Amino acid sequence: MSCEERRGSILEAAAAVFGERGYVGATTDAVAKAAGVSQPYVVRMFGTKENLFLEVLGRSLDRLLTTFRRVIAEAPAGTDPVELKALIALAYADLLQDRGLLLSLMQGFMLGADPAIGPAARAGFLQVYRLVRDEAGFSPEMAGEFLSGGMMLNTLVAIGLPAEYDTDPVARELLDHCAPNKAAMIARLSKELA
Amino acid sequence: MSCEERRGSILEAAAAVFGERGYVGATTDAVAKAAGVSQPYVVRMFGTKENLFLEVLGRSLDRLLTTFRRVIAEAPAGTDPVELKALIALAYADLLQDRGLLLSLMQGFMLGADPAIGPAARAGFLQVYRLVRDEAGFSPEMAGEFLSGGMMLNTLVAIGLPAEYDTDPVARELLDHCAPNKAAMIARLSKELA
DNA sequence: GTCTATACGGCGATAGAC
DNA sequence: GTCTATCGCCGTATAGAC
């Protein structure tokens, strides 16, 4: 396999592992196993674990921004920002299906105190804010609401509430009122229970 | 010092350390140093690191619920739920001044996959939801909005954005529109920069 | 009630062969 | 391009003295 192909598959595996175990809890060995290579090879290719995480973070952010821009571009010109907000929220919920990608982002947010990761996470977060404000035309209030909803969704997925959707009526009620895309959540659920 | 006093001071130190470094990143040695005791003594007193974290989690949750109940009880009878929501949000922002306590909760939320911590975190989260719905009279929509705002605040603090309040105008704008208690945030900021 | 000493396992990173 | 072997550190937990 070529260098670039390997890079891609390792980064993909790393996103899943980092999302599931967190930055500190994830091991380069677990990433290696998930990607089907040896542990030293992962280190060799990315230098350090920290650097590997930074690349995962950057990738996740890129995908997020790209997706949002596509939704904005595909909306008819002159679409109301409020409507656009619902569309982007929906796209975000869909993106959340890829647990690793988004949970890695969330893990990055929790590492604000880290001297190398903190600045990258803050910059990424502000980049998203600027995108919805400048490119989607959200008011600061709308942008805040949008990001709040996103953080809530991230938390609900991280805490594992969707898995209790049909065993706990309170969890169900909460999810029904917070998930912009109920169908997607349920799809996740059934996948999780399988 | 008596056993109970020590317990309290170790738990307090543990909340700060867990909040700052995360569950995996925190070491029992760091907790011990922060509490001014030896590392084996911390383990001796709480059995395992996992158990120590569960106690910190329970304490944080208790303090949260107690605070919310006090706000509800102190509000004049028949206060509108919408008004109550603003009051509780304000109390939450104040509580967030104790970084360790609330960030420990947030760290717990990120550990939903852990077989021991996950269930405790989910139960705690739902307990908060039930409180604002049943005792404060929030509609499910309001409860969702309230929790979303809380998760957003947690994230903003965790990522360290308040520290950039007066160096980055975008960060400032974002914080101005998301923090229910601007004064508290600024107080935090100045403390952080000191 | 609190410590010192230490066993034990695990992880990131390096060296070097193929 | 990818592996095996391995070093060295660090963290949890135990044993046992005072």
Which pLDDT tens digit goes with each residue over B138-168?
999 999 999 999 999 999 999 999 999 999 9
Asked if the Cβ of residue A38 lies within 7 A of any atom of strand C, the reply is: no
Mean pLDDT of A108-122: 97
CA A38 to C1' C14, whole Å: 14
- What pLDDT was estimated at residue A94? 87
Q: How confident is the model at residue B189 (pLDDT cuts 50, 70, 90)?
A: low
Mean pLDDT of A22-33: 98
Q: Which of residues 78-137 of A touch strand D (CB under 7 A)?
A: none
A102/A154 Cα distance (integer angstroms): 7
Single pTM value for the model: 0.95
Asked if the Cβ of residue A49 lies within 7 A of any atom of strand C, the reply is: yes
Is the pLDDT assigned to residue A189 strictly greater than 60? no
Of B22, B144, B149, which is closest to A24 when you measure between CB atoms? B22
Asked if the Cβ of residue A6 lies within 7 A of any atom of strand D, the reply is: yes
Asked if the Cβ of residue B36 lies within 7 A of any atom of strand D, the reply is: no
CA A153 to C1' D11, whole Å: 34
Q: How confident is the model at residue B61 (pLDDT cuts 50, 70, 90)?
A: very high
The string of pLDDT tens digits covering residues B80-138 is: 999 999 999 999 988 988 989 999 999 999 999 999 999 999 999 999 999 999 999 99
Helices (H), ranges, chain A: 3-25, 28-35, 39-46, 49-74, 81-95, 99-109, 117-130, 140-159, 169-178, 182-193
Dihedral over alpha carbons B151, B100, B26, B53 (to 10 degrees): -80
The two structure tokens encoding residue A63: 């995908």
Nucleotides in D strand less than 7 A from protein CB: 1-6, 10-16
Q: Under a CB-based contact definition with an 8 Å cutoff, are residues A163 and B163 in contact?
A: no
- What pLDDT was estimated at residue A193? 55
Is the pLDDT assigned to residue B186 strictly greater than 80? no
Mean pLDDT of B13-41: 98
- What pLDDT was estimated at residue B97? 85
Mean pLDDT of B172-182: 84
Query: What distance in Å separates residue B160's CA from the closest CA in chain A?
Result: 5
